[in-house]
């Protein structure tokens, strides 16, 4: 253990730093990042890090609902087995072109919400992103009912479902949430803020046209 003097010298080295107390911004502000525009990562990547990666290992049996071309599937290929369900065929989704062919990956084009192809008490992790938000509440409920007996004790399920209130609030707040609001974080660059507002409103308008909002 180092000496008490060494500890005190380390603490003393901070004295006088950051007058008024360190404060770079409010972490509850979605446009605040300590390193300005280079502080940000995409929502999908954050979902991957927080909601997908921690739950998949070589002994996991995964059920993915609404896999599309397999953007998320490909990140879970180290699982023991993957059941990938979609309303569209693998050919339509060009699933195997993107994911490849693997003996432990089973693609199923669903005809209903019964999940009959999935063995009971077999699934460790259920993942569904940007799929159930396109499905009716009745369909989601049917999936949930039929899923429960197929999940093993202690299994996890991460589902993205639609929340129209949150979605509409996001659309209304696009200009505030834009990452480019962090372009000129320093107060002495306030003259550039007008340019920043112009860029942000242009991007929001372009987004709205692109997604026909």
Ligand X SMILES: C[S@@+](CC[C@H](N)C(=O)[O-])C[C@H]1O[C@@H](n2cnc3c(N)ncnc32)[C@H](O)[C@@H]1O
Q: Would you tell me which residues interact with ligand X (CB under 6 A)?
A: 65-68, 71-72, 85-88, 93, 110, 129-131, 134-135, 139
Closest approach of Cβ 152 to ligand X, in Å? 21
Q: Which is nearer to ligand X, 115 or 182 (CB)?
A: 115
Nearer to ligand X, 73 or 181 (CB): 73
Q: From the CB of residue 171, how many other CB atoms can be counted at a distance below 10 Å?
A: 14
Element (H, E) at 90: helix 90-93
Q: How far apart are CB 123 and ligand X at their closest, in Å?
A: 15
State the nearest-atom distance from the C-beta of 171 to ligand X, in Å.
17
Nearer of residues 65 and 79 to ligand X, judged by Cβ: 65
The nearest distance, CB 144 to ligand X, in angstroms, is 12
- Closest CB to ligand X: residue number: 68
- Residue 46: which H helix or E strand, with range? helix 43-47
Nearer to ligand X, 61 or 83 (CB): 83
Q: From the CB of residue 55, how many other CB atoms can be counted at a distance below 10 Å? A: 19
Question: CB–CB of 194/152 below 8 Å?
Answer: no
Walk across the sheet containing 81-86 and list its strands: 105-109, 81-86, 61-65, 123-128, 151-159
153: tokens are 């004790």
């Amino acid at each position: 253990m180092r000496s008490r003097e060494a500890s005190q010298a380390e603490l003393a080295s901070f004295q006088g730093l950051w007058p008024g107390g360190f404060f770079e911004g409010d972490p509850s502000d979605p446009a605040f990042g300590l390193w300005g525009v280079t502080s940000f990562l995409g929502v999908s990547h954050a979902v991957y890090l927080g909601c997908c990666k921690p739950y998949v290992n070589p002994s996991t049996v995964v059920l993915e609902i609404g896999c599309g071309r397999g953007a998320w599937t490909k990140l879970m290929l180290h699982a023991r087995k993957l059941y990938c369900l979609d309303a569209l065929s693998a050919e339509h989704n060009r699933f195997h072109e993107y994911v490849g062919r693997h003996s432990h990956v089973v693609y199923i084009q669903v005809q209903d919400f019964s999940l009959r192809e999935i063995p009971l008490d077999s699934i460790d992790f259920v993942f569904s992103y940007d799929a159930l938000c396109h499905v009716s509440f009745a369909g989601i409920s049917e999936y949930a009912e039929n899923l429960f007996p197929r999940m093993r004790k202690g299994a996890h399920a991460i589902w993205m479902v639609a929340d129209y209130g949150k979605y509409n609030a996001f659309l209304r707040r696009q200009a505030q949430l834009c990452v480019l609001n962090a372009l000129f974080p320093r107060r002495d660059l306030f003259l550039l803020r007008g340019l920043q507002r112009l860029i942000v409103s242009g991007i929001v308008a372009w987004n709205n046209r692109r997604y026909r909002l």
